[in-house]
Amino acid sequence: MSQTTSVTSPTKIFPAIMCGGSGTRLWPLSRALFPKQFLPLVNSTSMLQDTLKRLPENCHDPVFICNEEHRFLVAEQVRQLSNNQGTILLEPEGRNTAPAVALAAIHAMNNNKDALLLVLAADHVIQNAEAFQEAVKQASIAANQDKLVTFGIVPTHAETGYGYIKKGPEVNLGHFTVAQFVEKPNQDLADQYLASGSYLWNSGMFLFKASRYLEELAKYRPDILTHCQKAMTDVEHDLDFLRPNKAEFLACNSESIDYAVMEKTDAAVVIPLDAGWSDVGSYSALWEVCDKDKDNNVLKGDVIAQQSSNSYIHSQNKLIATVGIDNLVIIDTPDAVLVANKDRVQDVKNIVAQLKSENRGEATLHREVYRPWGKYDSIDMGDRFQVKRITVKPGAKLSVQMHHHRAEHWIIVSGTAKVTIDDKSILLSENQSAYIPIGAVHALENPGRLPLEMIEVQSGSYLGEDDIVRFEDRYGRT
């Protein structure tokens, strides 16, 4: 990418994109292993991809902070936009934003000691990319003057679901001191905040010199900085991923960047941002940012809505037909249906909590599951059998593995498969099949240039995904 054209400095902006979160209030579209940031909720691209597409042109390749379970999703979605994937930093376990930003700041300084760090979430909607980019440009001026900039969203209504930032005096054109960070208010307080004109929504987006953030972290939370520095000193390179030292990182206290630094520092400034921002934290918020029909409905997929209004209706799997409804959310996925009043969608998270307490897979997985080599869809299941539709990407290979409790029968639908069973390898094409007995060491590979489509029929006494003994895996899974 080209060098920055900042008005004050040729310093590169390093985007640090936080890819965590499970989006429980957007269940069943969002699941723990495929949460909202990886979904195309507003348009044809995912929220993570939209975040990348609106970055200013003068940015360095991003650094992504995510967990083990989402690492291949991040890599694949970034690859779809660009051949250069940037850097993917893997948190051994979530420790909130202060340690995560510290990891990104240390990484950025290893590349450029004067780097500006632009901290963004992967799951925000910003409808006016030009206004966002202009705000980043203005923030870079303040950041180059050693300020720690946060972006405050100009409120459109009295929202009780966000924290707020109270503006202090204006210190520069469009830059205000931070008088106070405020927790999520009740409705009366939210009404007062909106009427005063002095409060902004806390977006959780920041821009500052990486070095300045680390200086302030050293001042207020030296324990977090020390553990993060040690974790980044002992980094393991794993394919396209960076793994900080696990023991050191887990020794960090879990702390948000607001509590650790921004509420304490005297260098904080806030820049108001009016760019159609939303954190899309619920279906009502998603309804607000989507295009609507003449009856104020958002309709996705195969939907017929008659005498229906003010509703969000999303079908992934089958026709949804409605008559005479108002203010509802209706979501259909291959394995779950949600019907809720749009005023009660904050409580969807309680459904997820119940599913987890009952150890039900619908809390975690979609029926269609993505893997680094492709994906599978569990299309049927019985007491001692399971049928999957499997897609293997060109050049990809599943792990060399065996099963103690199940046999498998593979039927090729399209493409070419290289199948290894114990010491024998064969090539199979359309309408050919292979049988893998219980206990056989086997592997599946797509040596061709087209996707491999196949049907897998499993049979046996136990069909769980944990009945896999891996002997070799190019993706580093154990």
Whether residue 261 is found in the same domain as residue 391: no
Residues 433 and 344 in one domain: no
The answer to the question of residue 451 being in a domain is yes
pLDDT value at 8 more than 50: no
Q: Over the stretch 75-115, which tens digit does the pLDDT of each residue have? A: 989 988 876 678 999 999 889 999 999 999 999 999 888 89
Using alpha carbons, list the distances in angstroms from residue 396 to 161, 345, 388, 417, 477.
43, 40, 18, 10, 14
Secondary element (H or E) of residue 49: helix 47-53
Considering Cα of 95, then 99, then 100, then 101, what sign does the dihedral take?
Answer: positive
Residues 224 and 110 in one domain: yes
Residue 318 DSSP one-character state? S
Same domain, 411 and 299: no
pLDDT greater than 60 at residue 240: yes
Of the three residues 248, 278, 308, the one that is the final residue of a domain is 278
Contact between 182 and 199 under an 8 Å Cβ cutoff? The reply is yes
Assess whether pLDDT exceeds 50 at residue 4.
Answer: no
Q: Is residue 29 part of a domain?
A: yes
* pLDDT higher than 90, residue 9: no
pLDDT at position 5 is: 34
Band of pLDDT at residue 1, cut at 50, 70 and 90: very low
Domain boundary among 307, 328, 352: 352
Range of the domain at 343: 286-352
Same domain? 265 vs 292: no
> Assign residue 129 a region: left if phi > 0, alpha if psi is -120 to 50, beta otherwise?
alpha
Q: Specify the pLDDT at position 83.
A: 62
Among 78-82, 154-158, 197-201, name the one with the lowest average pLDDT: 78-82
Q: In the structure, what pLDDT confidence band is assigned to residue 467 with cuts at 50, 70 and 90? A: very high
Which pLDDT tens digit goes with each residue over 380-423? 999 999 999 999 999 999 999 999 999 999 999 999 999 999 99
Token pair listed for 470: 């891996």
- Please check whether residue 3 lies inside any domain of the structure: no
**pLDDT tens per residue, range 202-236:** 999 999 999 999 999 999 999 999 999 999 999 99
How far is 234 from 472, CA to CA, in rounded Å?
25
Q: Mean pLDDT of all residues in the chain?
A: 93
**For the chain, percent of residues with pLDDT exceeding 70:** 97
Query: For position 374, which CATH number holds?
Result: 2.60.120.10
Alpha-carbon 78 to chain mean position: 12
- The per-residue pLDDT for 2 is 34
In a domain, 363, yes or no: no
Provide mean pLDDT across the span 456-465.
Answer: 94
Query: Is 362 a domain residue?
Result: no
Is the pTM of the predicted complex or chain greater than 0.85? Answer: yes
- The CA-CA-CA angle for residues 373, 374, 377, to 5°, reads 135
Q: Is the dihedral of CA 242, 368, 450, 52 positive or negative?
A: negative
349 CB-side CA count, 13 A:
8
> Is 360 inside a domain boundary?
no
Task: Look at residues 256, 278, 300 and tell me which one is the last residue of a structural domain.
Answer: 278
Which CATH number do you get for residue 25? 3.90.550.10
Task: Please state, in angstroms and as integers, the Cα–Cα distance from residue 453 to each residue in 5, 386, 391, 428, 445, following that order.
Answer: 48, 17, 5, 12, 11
Mean pLDDT of 427-445: 97
Is residue 64 located within the same domain as residue 119? yes
Can you give the pLDDT at residue 58?
Answer: 82
Please tell me whether residues 296 and 228 are part of one structural domain. no
Those residues whose C-beta lies under 8 Å from the C-beta of residue 122, and which sit 6 or more positions away, are: 17, 18, 19, 37, 47, 48, 51, 64
The CA distances from residue 370 to 70, 367, 375, 430, 472, in Å, are 10, 10, 4, 23, 19
Query: To which H or E segment does residue 210 belong?
Result: helix 210-220
On the question of pLDDT at 14 being above 60, the answer is: yes
Q: Give residue 158's pLDDT band: very low, low, confident or very high (50, 70, 90).
A: very high
Is residue 202 within 8 Å of residue 181, measured between CB atoms?
yes
Q: What is the pLDDT of residue 374?
A: 93
Q: What are phi and psi of 460, to 5 degrees?
A: 160, -175
Q: Are residues 449 and 305 in the same domain?
A: no
Provide mean pLDDT across the span 130-156.
Answer: 96
Task: Name the band, by pLDDT with cuts 50, 70 and 90, for residue 476.
Answer: confident
Residues 127 and 225 in one domain: yes
Q: Residue 39: inside a domain, yes or no? A: yes
Residues 252 and 144 in one domain: yes
Q: What is the mean pLDDT of residues 295-301?
A: 98
The pair of structure tokens assigned to 468 is 């896999």
| Claim to verify: residue 50 and residue 178 sit in the same structural domain | yes
Could you tell me if 274 and 416 lie in one domain? no
Percentage of the chain surpassing pLDDT 90? 85
- In this structure, which amino acid lies at residue 427? L
- Does residue 477 form part of some domain? no
* CA 111 to mean position of chain CA atoms: 25
Considering its fold, how many domains does the chain have in total? 3
Q: Specify the pLDDT at position 478.
A: 67
Cα separation, 477 vs 77, whole angstroms:
20
